[in-house]
A and B are shown apart, each in its own frame.
Chain A
Amino acid sequence: MTATDVTATAEATRQGAPGLPPREPRSEFGRRHKPELSAGQKQALRLARTLVWPAIVVAILVTQIPFLVTIYYSFQNWNLMRPGSRGFAGFDNYITVFTGGAFLQSLSATVVITGSSIVLSVLFGLGIALLLNRTFVGQGLARTLVITPFLMMPAAAALIWKWSMLDANVGMVNWGLSVLGVDPVQWNTDFPALTVIMVLTWQYTPFMMLILLAGLQSQSKETLEAASVDGAGPIRSFLYMTLPHLRQYIELAVLLGGIMLLQVFDPIAIMTRGTGGTKTLSYLLYERAFVGLEIGEAAAYGVITVLLTIIVASVALRLLFKIFSTEGAKS
């Protein structure tokens, strides 16, 4: 494999256009065109809109319409176990949400589990990416093996961890600890949140690693060599050159990881069932709706959760992540 692996697509692009001058630094849409649009451009614009609309319509139908219905349900007094008792509830459900105490607990469980899983998997991912970025025997095989946890079906991963790895009687982890002379650990009873974080970190580290490795490989070797010749040690050049270079890759890793981890449901449903600080918002919503059968209350939780997510997402997307801003893309 060559250093250009990661940039294969960019490469392909260039090869597809032989004889073209190298791409200009940035030709973000619209930038090259003057604000006043010519007739041709207007036509192009119309066509472009036509192209985007089907996708937007489908996205709205599948994700937004159900949510609007959720808002409607959140003002209903509706318990499925009591048919016929359905009616308008005003803000009762929201009052229950904010006075019940379950919401804040769940919010903090979500922050703790999502947050620590992201931080840990970025750290481990960075470490492994650095290790795999060296040239060594069996590099390709090592990388192949390391990415496997990310490809594992989360339900299978959770089942295997629960029954084969962390089981109190036949689990490999406790057996490994006993070899080291450590007493068996009651994972699910004593450390439910840690159990979930462990499994998530295991699953998402390869994902972060892939992105960060791409970042490392896109770093110019000449610059690093030059720094080395100038007497910069590996730590200095990592801190002052590699890390800043990796910054947008880390941001991307956190963003994508956040999107996926915020929704996480499988390991909680399979391993801990919401005990001991693992009742994340996703699981709480599920439980209110399908165990409590409190449709109205569950909907109110859903609305609040979505509002919160929108706030977090807007802040994250617009402020933290330069990827999205055209200004940032220039740098």
Chain B
Amino acid sequence: MSTSVVSAPRAVPARRRTRQMRHRASSAALTAFTWIVTLGFFFPVAWMVFTAFKTEAAAATSTPTIFTSLSFDRFAEVLDRGFGVYLLNSLTASVMSTVIVLLLAIPAAYGLSIRPIIKSTDALFFFISTRFMPIAAAIIPIYLLLQNFGLLDNISALSILYVGMNLPLAVWMMRSFFSEVPLEIVEAAQIDGANFFTELVRVVLPIVAPGIAAAALICFIFAWNEYFLASLLTSTMARTTPPFLGSFVDGRGQFLAVLSAASTLAVLPVVLAGWLAQKRLVTGLAMGAIK
């Protein structure tokens, strides 16, 4: 990164050579330090994955065991307990809510950004302020409403609540992407007689597609990881992964390995997606707001 600019070597005068040597030594030290910090941050995750392959006895020793037999048994045990169903519920809720968020947020962001709209900042402010509101403050009515309509433990109901949770961020991020679209393009499309929707689909969407992907990824991550609503509003049929994880804490004794295996499986999809799309993640969060 930044190689194109910085490391294009220029002729180095001889008297600066020693300084450069010293610079190299301190650079190596900084690199070493960077790696220590990096590995320190990553350690709990690495240890979780490692523990997941151990036996319960090896996982529960007070002096950590490094050399021990490793196996996939714990993962098999986790899946035996019906973990797949919970993962599937999480997937359903995350995908469903993300799709609905996109369907609502794309037109809204478009309307807020490209066309002149009076008080668009106010609308935007309204959206983002709903995200500030503690969900806990509205949980009782939500609970009782869902209960009255027989919608407790219902994955669609949970997805709709996730829509409410993610919509503001999505609108906010996408609006910024849409306002990146040069007005000239849009105006050209209008002169061509394209109506709003063909304009949106044919001209604007392809340009902002990377931004939409970023917003979708973030909505997906938040929905996948959500705990509060899921733990209060679901019990069996629609229970998602986060509240289910706690049940691996087992009163019969050692459970660290199986808990680690369950956690590893639970975080895997989002971690992999995040790793693969990390560029988008940055773009989505930072470029979404700052141009």
Contact = CB atoms under 8 A, between A and B. Distances in A.
Chains A and B touch each other in the complex, with CB atoms below 8 Å apart? yes
Interface stretch (B12-20, B75-83, B122-130): B122-130
B93 interface: no
Interface string A152-195: 11111101110111000110100100000000000000000000
Given A131-B37, A153-B241, A137 B279 contact: no
Given A134-B34, A154-B225, 15 more contacts: A6-B279, A41-B116, A45-B117, A142-B35, A155-B246, A159-B245, A164-B44, A175-B62, A211-B286, A213-B282, A217-B2, A263-B136, A286-B136, A309-B133, A310-B132
B72 interface: no
Contacts of A305: 134, 136-137
A9 B63 CA distance: 49
Interface stretch (A23-31, A81-89, A96-104, A236-244): A23-31
A70 B290 contact: no
A263 B168 CA distance: 15
A145 B42 contact: yes
A79 interface: no
B111 A153 contact: no
Interface string B168-196: 10010000010111111100000000001
Q: Place the interface of chain B in its size category.
A: 35 or more
Contacts, number: 399
B125 A128 contact: no
A317 B129 contact: yes
A55 interface: yes
B115 A146 contact: no
B156 interface: no
B275 to A, nearest CB: 5
B139 A175 contact: no
Contact of A155 (B164, B227, B285): B227
Interface of A: 1-3, 5-10, 12-13, 16-17, 20, 23, 26-30, 32-33, 37, 41, 44-45, 47-52, 54-56, 58-59, 61-67, 69-70, 73, 127-128, 131-139, 142-157, 159-161, 163-165, 169-170, 172, 175, 202, 205-207, 210-211, 213-215, 217, 221-222, 225, 248-249, 252, 256, 259, 262-263, 265-266, 269-270, 281-283, 285-286, 289-290, 295, 298-299, 301-303, 305-306, 309-310, 312-314, 317-318, 323-326, 329
A17 B207 contact: yes
A67 B107 contact: no
Interface in B36-66: 37-39, 41-45, 47-48, 51, 59-64
Nearest to B207: A16
Contact of B137 (A10, A62, A70, A170): A70
Contact of A252 (B141, B245, B289): B289
